[in-house]
């Protein structure tokens, strides 16, 4: 099973992915987590500008990693990152092995909460800057015409990461037992 966790900056993607891995590992499920940002960073040297072509390549690389983990017997591969647009998801899905249907989980968060989280995280770079984050959230359009279909939507302001992970784990258990 491949689970794609997406959402805006500071919505909790990495935190929910880690909690989901812990939750599943407690029940002896083999899990691998892929962070799209880390795949991207390996492809784009810090001194060169990163464009959409690099992100598309990163999504393909994440799909290749997911395929490798699945072939190695990993039961659940969690991929977290920016898969917020239909083209983002297509760039990933078209490179998955046949039969791999991703479960899409979309996280929601308000700009104010995302900014609070980002500014409280010393490991973050540009996303701590309101001048960078605000236009990103303005562009992050939530209208049904631009948001691709998703299997589960979680508001991470209302639901803690451990509860979100438990909700996703219930779906995983149901899907893998069928």
pLDDT tens-digit profile of 98-131? 988 899 999 999 999 999 999 999 988 888 899 9
pLDDT in tens, 62-80: 999 999 999 999 999 999 9
pLDDT in tens, 6-40: 999 999 999 999 999 999 999 999 999 999 999 99
Per-residue pLDDT at 47 exceeds 70: no
- Residue 140: partners with Cβ closer than 8 Å, 6 or more residues away: 8, 84
Four-point Cα dihedral 110, 112, 118, 121, nearest 10 = -110
User: Does residue 173 have a pLDDT over 70?
Assistant: yes
- Mapping DSSP to helix (H, G, I), strand (E, B) and coil, where does residue 30 land? coil
pLDDT value of position 174: 84
What digits encode the pLDDT tens for the residues 122-147? 988 888 899 988 887 776 655 545 55
- DSSP letters of 103-164? EEEEEE--HHHHHHHHHT-TT--GGG-HHHHHHHHHH----TTTSPP-SEEEETTTS-HHHH
DSSP category for residue 102: P
Alpha-carbon span 40 to 51, nearest angstrom: 10
Give the pLDDT score at 49: 55
How many separate domains does the chain show?
1
CATH number at residue 156: 3.40.50.300
Q: Would you say 24 and 76 are in contact if contact means Cβ atoms under 8 Å apart?
A: yes
Residue 48 pLDDT: 57
Global pTM reads 0.90
Give the domain extent around 73: 2-177
**Across 155-178, average pLDDT:** 90
Q: Quick one: CA dihedral 106, 107, 111, 117, positive or negative?
A: negative
Strands, sheet with 152-155, edge to edge from the N-terminal-most edge strand:
31-35, 76-80, 2-6, 103-108, 152-155
Residue with tokens 């999504």: 59
pLDDT tops 60 at residue 167 = yes
Kindly give the interhelix angle for 161-177 and 13-25, rounded to the nearest 10 degrees: 50
């Amino acid at each position: 099973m491949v689970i794609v966790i997406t959402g805006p900056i500071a919505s909790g993607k990495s935190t929910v992915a880690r909690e989901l891995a812990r939750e599943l590992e407690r029940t002896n499920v083999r899990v691998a987590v892929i962070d799209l940002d880390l795949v991207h960073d390996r492809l784009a040297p810090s001194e060169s500008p990163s464009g959409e072509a690099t992100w598309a390549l990163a999504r393909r690389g994440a799909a290749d990693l997911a395929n490798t983990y699945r072939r190695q017997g990993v039961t659940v591969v969690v991929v977290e990152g920016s898969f917020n647009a239909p083209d983002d998801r297509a760039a990933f899905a078209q490179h998955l092995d046949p039969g791999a249907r991703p479960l899409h989980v979309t996280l929601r968060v308000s700009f104010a909460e995302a900014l609070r989280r980002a500014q409280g995280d010393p490991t973050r770079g540009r996303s701590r800057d309101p001048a960078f984050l605000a236009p990103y959230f303005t562009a992050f359009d939530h209208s049904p015409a631009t948001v691709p279909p998703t299997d589960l939507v979680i508001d991470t302001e209302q639901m803690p990461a451990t509860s979100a992970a438990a909700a996703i784990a219930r779906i995983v258990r149901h899907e893998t037992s069928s």
